Amino acid sequence: MSNSDDLSTDLNSNDSAPFSRRHFLWNSGGGLGAIALAWMLDQDKARAMAAGPTSERKPHFPAKAKRVVQIFCAGGVSHLDAFDYKPELERMHGKSMEGKGENLGFFGQPGKLMKSVYDFKQHGKSGAWMSSLLPHLAETVDDVCFIKSMFAKSNNHTPAAFQMNSGFTLNGFPSMGAWLSYGLGTVNENLPAFVVLPDPRGLPAGGSINWTSGFLPANHQGVAFRTQGGDPIPDLRTPGGVLPAAREADMQLLASMNTQFANANPDDGAFAARLHSYELAARMQASIPEATDLDSEPENIKKLYGIDEPANKGFSRNCLMARRLLERGVRFVQILNGGIFGATPRINWDGHENVKENHDAQAATMDKPVAALIQDLKQRGMLEDTLFIWSTEFGRSPATQGVGAPGRDHHPTAFTCFLAGAGVKKGFSYGTSDEIGYFVGENKVTIPDFHATILHLLGLDHKKLTFYHNGIDRRLTNVEGEVVKGVLS
């Protein structure tokens, strides 16, 4: 076909067809709405042709994990005030940082070294050190594998967030969830393979680019649910007055017409791609409301997550919703904690002015629901084949931001992330930072290494998961990355 308008021509070229596909879609668009359908029909053909099938595909080798949930804490969680206990930093509190490292931040002169603003103690059988900032997560340490030697390329929020979520500091590259959708497909054809649950208070630095499909087929992009209230996906419900039987008849007729059109135009990849999008939307009309109905959960589970506790700002609902989506076959669920950079007070982990005040507020939203998600997955037997990822874009500096100030600046040269679940060592700590948490001490883990390890646990060789784009076989890990075998069980 010569142009995108041909996608909406009559089912047959003769005048015997009773009505056209466009007429049918306009008059019976259902929950999507006629305007939305017309808009989809008229989108750029080249973009639609890029979309490919999403059926489940085999990994390169047997996988430990079948699904992934990622918590991304936007703003830069202080490793020194949460996970990485530094007695030497206590001893050197108030002293100059001279000779220990240069100022990696960009908000002015660094001040003196500052010990953690929280008390640390050991927890669980593993004896893992955790601060009083995260008392609920401290109860899960025997199920967690800490990586305390993370290293990022950027000290700026947006490129650092991009790198953690896509492997690159520049925008336009596919996110990790999109790569997994592309490599493994979907388990449940009635739900998206990749779902994003933004913080109810706003988006992280870089916004939706953190879950983009980039140059991968568009159907692998993360589907962001509305989490501030109302329907998770706007305009999805079937309009009032349409009986289920009538809606089913509509869909059967449309499917028949689409099949005839596809058979008459076997080389039209654009039509096949768009058809997949419409069919998924129709299936989601039934599946999404059920999957996101938290009212059906028992009271003890709601209490575990703290659903009715105002302190978590609605984040607990996202964590419980994530568990429901995972158990219904969503491949990758990304849960965002923190957003709206530039707001006062900060609605993220960016503890510039006062790290304790900032982290107290953020931990109140994140600690209990995330610990509950780990515990809930475990008690259901799902943690055995689910990979749990907790990540942030960088850490915070050992020195104060400014002389005599109580805040910490951005710090990419050593910070902490952790994994749990399928194929990961339990109650284990990998790598170290130096004596004050400034540089990596042992077993440096770059973000490409982190991503290579995640793909490996899902049965994917990061060097073989590629997509040809602009003359290059692109991959999530670029030309870097080694599997961190030391964290594998």
pTM (two decimals): 0.83
Q: Which domains does the chain have, with CATH numbers?
A: 21-50+237-284 (no CATH), 67-232+292-487 (3.40.720.10)
Backbone dihedral angles phi then psi of residue 355, each to the nearest 5 degrees: -65, -35
Task: List own/partner pairs for 258-266 with CB under 8 A and 24 or more apart.
Answer: 258/21, 260/11, 260/12, 261/11, 261/21, 264/11, 264/12, 265/1
Give CA–CA dist 178/219, Å, rounded: 9
What pLDDT, on a 0 to 100 scale, did the predictor assign at position 286?
A: 65
CA angle 429, 153, 404 (to 5 degrees): 80
- Compute how many other C-beta atoms are within 10 angstroms of the C-beta atom of residue 463: 14
Burial of 450 (0-12, 13-18, 19+ CB in 10 A): buried
* Rounded alpha-carbon distances, angstroms, from residue 293 to 173, 288, 296, 376, 476: 33, 8, 6, 17, 34
How confident is the model at residue 85, as a pLDDT? 98
- Helix, strand or coil for residue 451? helix
Give one word for 459, left, alpha or beta, with left for phi > 0 and alpha for psi -120 to 50. Answer: left
Please tell me the predicted confidence (pLDDT) of residue 404.
Answer: 86
Do 194 and 332 meet the contact criterion of CB atoms below 8 Å apart?
Answer: yes
**Could you give the dihedral angle defined by the CA atoms of residues 100, 101, 105 and 109, in that order, rounded to the nearest 10 degrees?**
70
Residue-level pLDDT, tens digit, the chain, 489 residues? 333 333 333 333 344 445 555 555 545 545 444 444 444 444 433 343 343 456 788 999 999 999 999 999 999 999 999 999 999 999 999 998 876 666 666 666 778 999 999 999 999 999 999 999 999 999 999 999 999 999 999 999 999 999 999 999 999 999 999 999 999 999 888 899 999 999 999 999 999 999 999 999 988 999 999 888 777 776 655 555 555 566 667 767 777 777 777 777 776 655 655 665 556 666 666 678 888 889 999 999 999 999 999 999 999 999 999 999 999 999 999 999 998 877 778 899 999 999 999 999 999 999 999 999 999 999 999 999 999 999 999 999 999 998 889 999 999 999 999 999 999 999 999 999 999 999 999 999 999 999 999 999 999 999 999 999 999 999 999 999 999 999 999
Cα separation, 126 vs 142, in Å, equals 6
| pLDDT confidence of residue 287 | 76
Say which residues have a Cβ less than 8 Å from residue 379's Cβ, sequence separation at least 6.
none
